[in-house]
Chain A
Amino acid sequence: KNEVEQSPQNLTAQEGEFITINCSYSVGISALHWLQQHPGGGIVSLFMLSSGKKKHGRLIATINIQEKHSSLHITASHPRDSAVYICAGYTQGGSEKLVFGKGTKLTVNP
């Protein structure tokens, strides 16, 4: 069964702290999608990666294929980063579909 697990489930930080959210996935997942869900419910794509590392502003995503593990890092966190961060894996084998983790709720306090 294709699975994606995230940790931690909840995370509270002070403004300026370095944040790490982890995602582990099972055999059968070939690429990962990091998503951000705003408090109002909207979902936006942050990164899609199948190898290496990607960076956009203060956000960095890495993936280790051998260990089946990905991390999302936020540098110099800010209260506007408060959101739910979702890791989703693309399944292999033809009909490419996303399997979602349950999300990590991040709260950054001023």
Chain B
Amino acid sequence: DADVTQTPRNRITKTGKRIMLECSQTKGHDRMYWYRQDPGLGLRLIYYSFDVKDINKGEISDGYSVSRQAQAKFSLSLESAIPNQTALYFCATSDLGHQETQYFGPGTRLLVL
């Protein structure tokens, strides 16, 4: 089984709808991240969490919120989806420590109509 899983893998929704993307990990890592990937722009950090009680905004957090329900679970919500949030979303984890390798989930393709 994969160490980092994301659900759903694909989602089509309409403008204005609330969407939740979920991420679970079995690696026992403290640090979790949400990124989005757009063609030609590379990956950009949305939110990150260094432990259950620590949530931080990344460079593009507007329009998104997160919840760290447990060490193993980190959810990303789009409160009111808009078309420019159409992208590929990745969750990642890393161990507590200095510049540890990040492990990525398989990604969620989101299309907002």
Contacts and interface: CB of A to CB of B under 8 A. Distances in A.
Interface string A25-51: 000001101010000011111001010
Nearest to A50: B99
Tier of interface size on chain A: 20 to 34
A31 B106 CA distance: 24
A102 interface: yes
Contacts, number: 46
Contact of B43 (A44, A45, A86): A86
B97 to A, nearest CB: 9
Interface in B44-89: 44-45, 48, 50, 56, 58, 88
Contacts of A102: 40-42
Question: Chain A's interface: helix, strand, loop or mixed, by majority?
Answer: strand
Interface string A43-83: 11100101000000000000000000000000000000000
A102 B109 CA distance: 19
Contacts of B34: none
Interface in A66-108: 86, 88, 90, 95-98, 100-103
B103 to A, nearest CB: 7
Contacts of A30: 99
B42 A101 contact: yes
Given A41-B88, A43-B104, A31 B42 contact: no
Interface of A: 30-31, 33, 35, 41-45, 48, 50, 86, 88, 90, 95-98, 100-103
8 contacts: A33-B101, A42-B106, A90-B99, A98-B45, A101-B42, A102-B40, A102-B41, A103-B42
10 A-B pairs closest in CB distance: A43-B104, A102-B42, A100-B43, A100-B42, A31-B99, A90-B99, A41-B107, A45-B101, A48-B101, A42-B106
Interface of B: 40-45, 48, 50, 56, 58, 88, 90, 98-104, 106-107, 109
